[in-house]
Chains A and B, each alone.
Chain A
């Protein structure tokens, strides 16, 4: 395994371990009392695992999309999937639906994400294949539409429902528990696995469809597979804890500058990098102003944006 990949994995594991023991109440893992056990296994560990899963999904999705769409500004939210998920989740929250108990909002958001992904795919499909420009424009168009509908819905709703919906939309990890872990873990693992298995094809697609064909790949089929993997990961991530911005955009660029652009390494490295960044952002969000929590998405942007701007100052960072 690439030595730099090992470093990224070790850093991610260290940050995860750190995030479960550090907080308003510091936990000594070698001397656990009942209270500490309760905090550790009922709150901190599931919350950090959800943060890692979401971060992995967003990081890997960003790496795939920036290559697949040949656009350095692409991120998992550009396809409009998260807007569809948010609209569906907001409908659930503001409408007071609870037909599936605590699963209602995640299931609604996942359904919204999948339906939106399908719509983007249908609009992006022409002459027997998915075209990057059409996907991008379809995603941006649907994103604007669903965001507008979301704003309309929120402007008509009560204060209490509005606050809940806002919290969820801007990324809320405070409600994380073990119950949603299995399906999130399953879908995100499938997505990362499919994307990593098609990483050679993604490399070839970055050169262009004609090169990809010449190297023995069917460009439209490969793009469809990668699109499905990204849609799965994004839908699962949004349904676990709402929208966390910047990770899908930032992490692949940061990781690329460290480990290179070969998608076979970049996708898993971005997954671990995304997991680490969201984990640390969540740690900061719940420790800087206790008992108040900052939205994790705000923290990821505050940490990531300055580093991103620093990277921009370096030669050709968007493409290397």
Chain B
């Protein structure tokens, strides 16, 4: 299946992957991420969202099929060159890391011998943390922590951000704030964003969504066409419907009895 509307950055052709010998987890999966796309990756716990992001970032290697980044296989890139093109943020952030925010963000420059155009201060300003450079991660709010890591990826200069549940453990205000920030950065810097998330109401604001169940795609495209009762029922095992109170007020209403 393809999301292709713009030049392809990441393309998976029939990739398969399993964590053990006896289980096929991802089987014959194909997708394309185009330049400047903003995609939500939805699915129940254990459906394969994180595995797909790790395959897409090169952390895991598919056991069959082909993954290409800007038309070239991952193997043809040196680690440092790949890091300039693609950035992955895991779900779990270790709050005990000893670095200041400035030191953390500065790590985005590690793939470079010559610093790129923007500096650490610019990256911090872009995410609204210009005043917190000397703080430690544990001193920041949940939303600020995520923004600090986003600043690191900005400095890294990658054109594709793969974010594993960046909205987890954030309240609704910080969730909206982070999504707005990422959309603004996408507009300003023409980066592509693929974000795993659980909140279907937030995903309704995305331009495209990909719904996963047991390592296979059960729906892909615009949220209004994909986040339908049958797809949600298949992916999550619950029934629901989309209520529309106006163009920007769509929300999912579940009919399950709790």
| Chain A residues within 8 Å of B, Cβ to Cβ | 200, 203-204, 206-208, 210-211, 213-218, 256, 260-262, 316, 319-320
State whether A319 touches B96 (Cβ < 8 A).
yes
Known A-B contacts A208-B90, A260-B103; the reply to A217 vs B138 at CB < 8 A is no
CB of B111 within 8 Å of the partner chain = yes
Contact B107–A203 (Cβ < 8 Å)? yes
Known contacts A207-B97, A207-B107, A319-B97: does B136 contact A214 (CB below 8 Å)?
A: no
**Could you give 15 example pairs across A and B, Cβ below 8 Å?**
A203-B110, A207-B107, A214-B57, A214-B88, A214-B89, A214-B156, A215-B156, A216-B110, A217-B110, A316-B96, A316-B136, A316-B138, A319-B96, A319-B98, A320-B98
Known pairs A213-B58, A216-B81, A217-B110 / 6 extra A-B pairs, C-beta < 8 Å: A213-B59, A215-B111, A216-B82, A216-B110, A256-B98, A261-B98
Interface residues on B, range: 20 to 34
Asked if B99 is at the interface of the complex by the 8 Å CB criterion, the answer is: yes
**B94 an interface residue at 8 Å Cβ cutoff?**
yes
* Chain B residues packing against A (C-beta within 8 Å): 54, 57-59, 79-84, 86-90, 94, 96-100, 103-104, 107-108, 110-111, 136, 138, 156
Say whether chain B's binding surface is mostly helix, strand, loop, or mixed. Answer: mixed
Q: Is the CB of A214 within 8 A of B98?
A: no
**Pair B59/A261 contact, Cβ less than 8 Å:** no
- Enumerate chain B residues within 8 angstroms of A260, measured Cβ to Cβ: 100, 103
* Assembled-state Cα–Cα distance A171/B86 (Å): 50
Q: How far is the CB of A76 from chain B (nearest CB, A)?
A: 19
In this complex, what residue of B is CB-closest to A206?
A: B97
Residue of A nearest to B98 (CB): A261
Q: Do residues A262 and B103 form an inter-chain contact, with CB atoms below 8 A? A: yes
A217 to B110, CA, bound (A): 9
Q: What residues of chain A lie closer than 8 Å to B97, measured between beta carbons?
A: 206-207, 319
A234 to B90, CA, bound (A): 34
Q: How far is the CB of B128 from chain A (nearest CB, A)?
A: 22
What is the bound-complex CA distance between A258 and B113, given in angstroms? 28
A217 near B136 with CB under 8 A, answer no
Q: Is the CB of A207 within 8 A of B94?
A: yes
B99 with A216: CB separation less than 8 A: no
Q: Which residue of A lies closest to B99 (CB)?
A: A261
Please report the C-alpha to C-alpha distance between residue A256 and residue B136 in the assembled complex, in whole angstroms: 14
Q: Which residues of B contact A262 (CB under 8 A)?
A: 99, 103
Q: Give complex CA distance A218, B86 in Å.
A: 15
